[in-house]
Structure 1
Amino acid sequence: MSTKYKELFEPAYIGKVQIKNKLSMAPMGPVGYADALGAMNQRLQEYYVERAKGGIGLIITGICSVDLDIEGMVRPGLPCPTQNPLAFIHEAYQMNERIHAYGTKIFLQLTGGLGRSALPGFATKFIAPSENENRFDPRIKHREMTIEEIKNMIQKFVMSAVVAKKAGFDGVEIHAVHEGYLLDQFAIA
């Protein structure tokens, strides 16, 4: 091994979680990699396990929706810990055990949804923090979310984090401030 970049291969910490090296796999959207129950399908699980075999220190999964119903997302689309928590835990726990066998840590990335950045055809309910046009098709108007919908989304984040912990994930990452998805839109609403 080259000693020029030896610091990359030394342990690091995120909070109390020790990562075996400073190599991290950035999240990539797993659209279409959920099974009918909202769990990660076998193909996606194998993808993450192969990254662990390759020596990566931290895997951050692609976005998992905290609530497919709030926007009426097509199914199977994104994995969703709250759609069927037991199925999600069952599938993810087995995957995480295999990933941990290689000394790799894994964080579950959670998203609140797409808001005005929803691709036409991917969602059936068009919402946003305030009334707005769709980013891709200005003919589509997104209605303002209700206070109850916002409270429900917050609760689904909490539920998803609890499911992630039970499924053996080492942490969660909140998907925000990227491409203008729903949570980002609260900052500019």
Structure 2
Amino acid sequence: MSHYKKLFEETHIGKMKLWNRISMAPMGPVGYANSRGGFNQRLQDYYVERAKNNVGLIITGVCSVDLNIEGLPSLGMPCPTSDPFAFVHSTYPMNERIHAYGSKILLQLTGGLGRSALPGFTKKQIAPSEAENRFEPSITHREMTKDEIMNLIQKFIQSAAIAKKAGFDGVFRARTTRKSAKISRRV
């Protein structure tokens, strides 16, 4: 067990102090939102259970910044901007419980699925730039307009502010492509 000793040492991510180096990668909570876009009880209990079992850093599964994004399905995906009060109401107590075990939690955010959308999963295919679908090259995703991108940036800002009110220790942006990262930096 001595060769795993480093896992149990504290570390930092920026100013955030973690009591150990054990982290939980994001896992999709699709289908685990309550009717108002918050986390349902089963999802809350799932994350708290991870904290009880000594996970130092929990990264939630992907949450949409806007359920009205063209092409994004609303299959019970949590969304901070859908109903901010309901989102905070469902996640603040969960985060308090997680923090009581000494764990930190980041909220993973997405602006959509882009070219990584499974064929048939979305009604309309859009991406930050025109691109072939990752799974079905015969499908081409249309390029988002500048207004759509600016709206999406505002939704990320709103979601981060709501996450802070809900007691999350930070946000983590889900990336679908390298191009999407370049575009968001250029805008």
TM over 0.5: yes
1:186 partnered with 2:180: yes
Partner of residue 142, structure 1:
141
Identity %: 65
Aligned AA (2:38): A
Cα distance in 1, alignment partners of residues 3 and 132 from structure 2:
50
Give yes or no for contact 1:35–1:76 (8 Å, CA) kept in 2. Answer: no
Cα distance in 2, alignment partners of residues 47 and 139 from structure 1:
38
Report the alpha carbon displacement of residue 73 of structure 1 after superposing the two structures with TM: 2.7
Aligned AA (2:11): A
Partner of residue 157, structure 1:
156
Partner of residue 168, structure 1:
167
Cα distance in 2, alignment partners of residues 22 and 187 from structure 1:
27
Cα distance in 2, alignment partners of residues 121 and 46 from structure 1:
31
Report the alpha carbon displacement of residue 74 of structure 1 after superposing the two structures with TM: 2.7
Cα distance in 2, alignment partners of residues 188 and 18 from structure 1:
29
Cα distance in 1, alignment partners of residues 178 and 153 from structure 2:
14
Report the alpha carbon displacement of residue 53 of structure 1 after superposing the two structures with TM: 0.6
Deviations 1:76-121 (A, max 9, x none): 3321111111110110001101111111110111111111221233
Cα distance in 1, alignment partners of residues 178 and 66 from structure 2:
17
Report the alpha carbon displacement of residue 3 of structure 1 after superposing the two structures with TM: 3.2
Partner of residue 130, structure 1:
129
Which stretches in structure 1 are left out of the alignment for 5+ residues?
none
Cα distance in 1, alignment partners of residues 4 and 161 from structure 2:
37
Cα distance in 2, alignment partners of residues 94 and 9 from structure 1:
27
How many residue pairs get aligned? The number is 183
Moved more, 51-60 or 113-122: 113-122
Aligned AA (1:54): N
Report the alpha carbon displacement of residue 156 of structure 1 after superposing the two structures with TM: 0.7
Q: Secondary structure at the match of 2:17?
A: strand
Large movers: runs of 4+ above 4 Å: none
Q: Secondary structure at the match of 1:5?
A: helix
> How does the TM-score come out when normalised to structure 2?
0.89
Cα distance in 2, alignment partners of residues 185 and 43 from structure 1:
35
Give yes or no for contact 2:23–2:58 (8 Å, CA) kept in 1. Answer: yes
Report the alpha carbon displacement of residue 33 of structure 1 after superposing the two structures with TM: 1.2
Which stretches in structure 2 are left out of the alignment for 5+ residues?
none
Give yes or no for contact 1:33–1:43 (8 Å, CA) kept in 2. Answer: yes
